């Protein structure tokens, strides 16, 4: 898989609206990766998402036309770029796609699997910045303005994300780096597949004006027809038409198109709403009765949940331990802390006490989970803590781990109890997990989480 797109020869996608090589420039053919000042908005979109996920376990299909489709609707959901060369595209009836490309391999969709991979990808985004606005399973806007000091320039962060998605999920994505959402999204589309385009602030207008009007946000078939009737074919044509003329033809949206055509798009990246709780749970590959193994897993889940709290900028007060026995009986125990926290050690301490309180005498467990409820804004709460002068060395230590995680991948640094010891949870048989999509999930989770129980549903947000 080629990931070092920075090494690619720079093409000139802006001047080649119909396609062509996807280089790393949004302007005039020069490499713009070092001209990313103020380009703090990233749009990241997985390439041929469903199809790429299917290829993870079927390397022999790489380079061949592959279509994910069928199911209830009988349409193409996703097609590899090899299939697209035959004219196949998403939403096309499957029968038509088969006629266009009889040699394509057609695979039925596995939605839980895609949701799993999507969760992993979003987790990578959130380890870089809390300002993540998902647009669907496979794409999101990121505002990386606050991450620049810790991780480097926006283009460097974009490449870091591309590398991590490729390393951890074994799929490729394309990234647009720009000063506004609208331009970032256009740029990622033009970088596809497996590319990245930086549109420097001062080249935004040049980049935009060469594109066809259909590239403008909100221009569907009908609007395009109206614009064509006015003789407007490119975004530049729209830009050089008085806003009043556009308003007369299209109403208020016409004036908005005029703004967009000059690169004006004030919309901020709006992160997802704060969740009510953040949790993670794991099903052991084999039932476990050793408290040391259980507690090590509880520690790992606590660390993971805490990292998630920190990346979303919230703290929580109530820690819920969930235990499922071998016979599927499930119980939960909650403890409410004196102070809200985003520190894994605090969560672990509470969960460990709850576990001890259960007085289990080597009962066989199938699953453990840790969840935090009673969430509130971290900034407000930390100011409160500062007033209380309650020093907390763990927070600093865990934030350092977050930074390493953002750079090198989750799990790059973890407590010693999680990396040593002959009695590591559940051995290395991550693929021996519970029923369902064990095999596929194991390969996604396996590299990062080898030797641990496989995730059953990954992190959950309720
Ligand atoms: N999808 C779907 N139905 C559609 C379009 C898409 O179920 N009509 C699903 C399958 C896609 C996923 O959503 O894999 C993401 O949609 P994209 O539009 O991002 O398409 P792809 O990721 O497949 O291709 P690319 O982004 O490379 O163009
Ligand atoms: Mg996509």
The per-residue b/e assignment along 203-230, b for 16 or more CB within 10 angstroms, e otherwise, is bbbbbbbbbbbebbeebeeebbeebeeb
Ligand 1, residues 72, 77, 176: which to mutate, most atoms within 8 A of Cβ? 77
Measured between alpha carbons, how far is residue 354 from residues 139, 337, 415, 458 in Å? 38, 12, 21, 22
Pocket of ligand 1 (CB under 6 A): 45-50, 77-78, 90-91, 138-139, 192-193
**pLDDT value of position 395:** 73
Q: Which residues surround ligand 2, an ion (CB under 5 A)?
A: 45-46, 49, 138
Measured between alpha carbons, how far is residue 399 from residues 265, 300, 392, 406 in Å? 33, 16, 12, 10
Query: What 3-state DSSP class applies to 338?
Result: strand
**pLDDT value of position 391:** 53
Q: What residue's CA is closest to ligand 1, atom 20?
A: 48
The catalytic residue positions are 139
**pLDDT value of position 449:** 30
Per-residue DSSP letter, 371: E
Q: Is the dihedral of CA 86, 90, 91, 95 positive or negative?
A: positive
**pLDDT value of position 210:** 95
Rounded distance between C-alpha atoms, residue 149 and residue 91, angstroms = 42
Question: What is the 74 CA–ligand 2 centroid distance (Å)?
Answer: 20
Low-confidence ranges of the chain (pLDDT < 70): 1-31, 71-73, 273-275, 379-392, 410-462
**pLDDT value of position 26:** 53
Ligand 1, residues 45, 90, 196: which to mutate, most atoms within 8 A of Cβ? 90
Which helix or strand (DSSP H or E) is residue 322 part of? Answer: strand 314-325
Q: Which atom of ligand 1 is nearest to the CA of 46?
A: 22
**pLDDT value of position 8:** 34
Contact 298, 216 (CB under 8 A): no
Q: Nearest Cα to 366, choosing from 415, 324, 313, 399? A: 324
Q: Model-level pTM greater than 0.85?
A: no
Domains of the chain: 50-112 (3.40.1170.60), 212-261 (1.10.150.20), 277-461 (3.30.1490.100)
**pLDDT value of position 409:** 72
Contact 235, 216 (CB under 8 A): yes
Q: What residue's CA is closest to ligand 1, atom 8?
A: 91
**pLDDT value of position 382:** 55
**pLDDT value of position 131:** 93
Phi/psi at 264 (nearest 5 deg)? Answer: -85, 115
Burial class (CB in 10 A: 0-12, 13-18, 19+), 423: exposed
**pLDDT value of position 456:** 38
Residue 125's Cβ-side half-sphere holds a number of Cα atoms within 13 Å equal to 29
Rounded distance between C-alpha atoms, residue 146 and residue 154, angstroms = 10
């Amino acid at each position: 898989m080629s990931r070092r797109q920075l090494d690619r020869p720079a093409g000139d996608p802006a001047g080649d609206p119909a396609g062509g090589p996807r280089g790393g420039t949004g302007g005039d053919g020069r490499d713009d990766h070092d001209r990313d000042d103020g380009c703090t908005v990233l749009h990241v979109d997985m390439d041929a998402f469903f199809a790429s996920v299917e290829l993870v376990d079927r390397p022999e299909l790489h380079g061949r036309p592959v279509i994910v489709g069928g199911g209830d609707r009988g349409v193409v959901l996703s097609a590899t770029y090899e299939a697209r060369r035959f004219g196949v595209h998403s939403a096309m009836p499957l029968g038509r796609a088969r006629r266009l490309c009889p040699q394509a391999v057609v695979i039925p969709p596995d939605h839980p699997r895609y949701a799993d991979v999507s969760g992993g990808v979003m987790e990578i985004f959130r380890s870089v910045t809390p300002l993540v606005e998902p647009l669907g399973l496979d794409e999101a806007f990121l505002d990386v303005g606050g991450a620049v000091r810790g991780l480097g320039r926006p283009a460097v962060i974009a490449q870091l994300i591309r590398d991590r998605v490729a390393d951890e999920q074994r799929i490729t994505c394309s990234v647009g780096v720009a000063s506004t959402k609208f331009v970032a999204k256009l740029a990622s589309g033009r970088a596809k597949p497996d590319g990245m385009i930086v549109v420097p602030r001062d080249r935004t207008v040049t980049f935009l004006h060469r594109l066809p009007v259909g590239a403008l946000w909100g221009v569907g078939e009908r609007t395009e027809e109206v614009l064509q009737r006015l003789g407007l074919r490119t975004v530049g044509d729209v830009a050089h038409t008085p806003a009043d003329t556009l308003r007369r033809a299209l109403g208020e949206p016409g004036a908005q198109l005029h703004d967009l055509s000059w690169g004006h798009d004030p919309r901020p990246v709006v992160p997802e709403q704060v969740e009510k709780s953040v949790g993670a749970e794991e099903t052991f590959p084999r039932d476990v009765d050793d408290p040391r193994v259980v507690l090590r897993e509880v520690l790992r889940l606590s660390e993971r949940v805490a990292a998630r709290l920190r990346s979303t900028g919230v703290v929580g007060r109530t820690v819920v331990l969930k235990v499922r026995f071998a016979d599927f009986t499930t119980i939960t125990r909650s403890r409410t802390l004196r102070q809200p926290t985003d520190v894994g050690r605090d969560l672990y301490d509470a969960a460990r006490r709850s576990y001890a309180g259960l007085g289990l005498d080597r009962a066989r467990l199938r699953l453990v989970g840790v969840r935090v409820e009673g969430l509130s804004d971290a900034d407000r709460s930390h100011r409160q803590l500062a007033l209380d002068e309650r020093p907390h060395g763990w927070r600093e230590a865990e934030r350092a781990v977050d930074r390493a995680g953002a750079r090198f991948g989750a799990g790059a640094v973890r407590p010693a109890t999680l990396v040593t010891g002959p009695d590591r949870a559940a051995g290395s048989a991550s693929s021996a997990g519970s029923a369902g999509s064990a095999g596929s999930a194991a390969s996604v989770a396996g590299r990062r989480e080898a030797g641990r129980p496989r995730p059953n549903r990954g992190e959950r947000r309720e």
